[in-house]
């Protein structure tokens, strides 16, 4: 979903509150191609909201009150005289509503059938069956909403995603350069802290720690962690991982109401930041590096400087004896390294 023609780079003033107990702050709201960017009076980014996931808390009332879908505690207030910005946001929300599936119809069509089957087969209904069914029927737009809600919780601890004009372009070029090797992952974001290396979310977003772009001389390390998360998302669907961690009742609620328990999202977000995850299939990961035309050695030594724990990645480097195409130009790489300095 992109901004409507004629509204690119529209700006307005507003009042932002990061949470229920947070102090209200004057901000500048920028209407971009796919996000609302909130900056303070010194042009420092405070938050960015995905346009398709912006929700209106008081339809038809002024001043207009908005929040990210799934996080009503964070709010943005636009005064009645900011009519152009309010109109732009409302037009995007209407366009999104027309394009997305209508879960009410889905629930009416299959909800009663699912509920009846669950009652009749309660003794035999396994949590795994609930998870598999949910993964197969939840539409992409709902996956994106869940991923956005998770990202909002992660960024409360990690800080808002880093963003500069040139750095964001370089990050998009990195994802484009990885091509099919990136699999289901569609976009990357760099966060200032909170996560050790990288995590991927439902909807196709991968969050990267700023250390992956600041602490290494070349972009192969960041690219390697993106490819690793792509492989992990192939081995275990991120929505399935969330449902498994949250229990069968969370899956049932998602199927019958279209909503996900906020408490489960909070718990899972904390787990993503603290729990060590299982390694991915090494042979499959090597194939992703080969498809992308990227050497595995910089990534391997970033994981283990001695090379002992990653000997397979080093010895089976698909680019040995070859001259791979650069991942990014020097200018793009420098811009990406400075993305959290804007």
**Are residues 74 and 216 both part of a single domain?**
no
Q: Coil, strand, or helix at residue 24?
A: coil
The answer to whether residues 279 and 163 belong to one domain is yes
Please say which residue of 99, 130, 159 terminates a domain: 99
295 located within any domain: yes
Total domains in the fold of the chain: 2
Query: Which domain CATH number covers 40?
Result: 2.30.29.30
Does 137 reside within a domain? no
Residue 121: the pLDDT is 53
Q: How far is CA 11 from CA 36, 38, 57, 78, 91, in A?
A: 9, 10, 21, 11, 16
Position 229 in a domain: yes
pLDDT of residue 206: 94
Answer yes or no: do 150 and 89 share one domain: no
Same-domain status, 225 and 307: yes
Residue 192: Cβ within 10 Å count = 15
Residue 332 to residue 342: CA distance in whole angstroms: 15
Query: Do 229 and 211 form a contact (C-beta atoms < 8 A)?
Result: no
- Pick from 41, 67, 99: which residue ends a domain? 99
pLDDT < 50 positions in the chain: 1-2, 120, 123-124
pTM for the complete prediction?
A: 0.63
> How many whole angstroms separate alpha carbon 324 and alpha carbon 315?
17
Q: Residue 330 has which token pair?
A: 């020097």
Say how many C-beta atoms besides its own lie within 10 A of residue 133's C-beta: 16
Query: Is 326 domain-assigned?
Result: yes
- Which region, left, alpha or beta, applies to residue 15 given φ > 0 means left and ψ of -120 to 50 means alpha? beta
Range of the domain at 152: 142-341
Q: What is residue 342's predicted lDDT score, i.e. its pLDDT?
A: 67
- Alpha-carbon distance values, 317 to 162, 219, 279, 280, 324 (Å): 32, 16, 18, 16, 12
Given 99, 133, 150, the domain boundary residue is: 99
């Amino acid at each position: 979903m992109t901004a409507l023609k004629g509204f690119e780079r529209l700006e307005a003033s507003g009042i932002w509150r990061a949470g229920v107990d947070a102090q209200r702050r004057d901000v500048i709201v920028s209407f971009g191609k796919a996000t609302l960017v909130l900056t303070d009076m010194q042009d420092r980014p405070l938050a960015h909201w995905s346009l398709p996931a912006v929700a209106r808390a008081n339809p038809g009332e002024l001043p207009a009150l908005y929040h990210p879908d799934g996080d009503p505690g964070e709010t943005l207030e636009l005064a009645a005289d900011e009519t152009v910005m309010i109109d732009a946001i409302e037009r995007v929300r209407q366009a999104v509503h027309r394009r997305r599936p209508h879960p009410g119809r889905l629930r009416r069509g299959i909800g009663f059938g699912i509920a009846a089957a669950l009652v009749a087969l309660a003794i035999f209904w396994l949590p795994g069956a609930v998870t598999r069914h949910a993964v197969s029927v939840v539409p992409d737009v709902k996956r994106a909403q869940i991923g956005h809600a998770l990202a909002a919780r992660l960024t409360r601890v990690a800080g808002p995603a880093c963003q500069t004009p040139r750095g964001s372009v370089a990050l998009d070029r990195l994802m484009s350069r990885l091509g099919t090797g990136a699999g289901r992952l569609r976009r990357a974001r760099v966060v200032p802290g909170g996560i050790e290396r990288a995590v991927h979310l439902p909807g196709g977003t991968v969050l990267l720690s700023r250390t992956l772009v600041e602490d290494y001389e070349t972009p192969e390390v960041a690219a390697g962690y993106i490819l690793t998360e792509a492989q992990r998302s192939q081995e275990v669907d991120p929505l399935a991982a969330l449902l498994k961690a949250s229990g069968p009742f969370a899956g049932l609620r998602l199927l019958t109401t279209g909503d996900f328990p906020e408490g489960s999202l909070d718990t899972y977000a904390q787990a993503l930041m603290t729990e060590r995850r299982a390694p991915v299939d090494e042979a499959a990961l090597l194939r992703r590096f080969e498809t992308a035309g990227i050497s595995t050695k910089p990534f391997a030594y970033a994981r283990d400087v001695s090379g002992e724990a990653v000997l397979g990645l080093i010895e089976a480097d698909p680019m040995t004896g070859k001259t791979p195409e650069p991942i990014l130009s020097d200018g793009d790489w420098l811009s990406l390294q400075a993305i959290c300095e804007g």
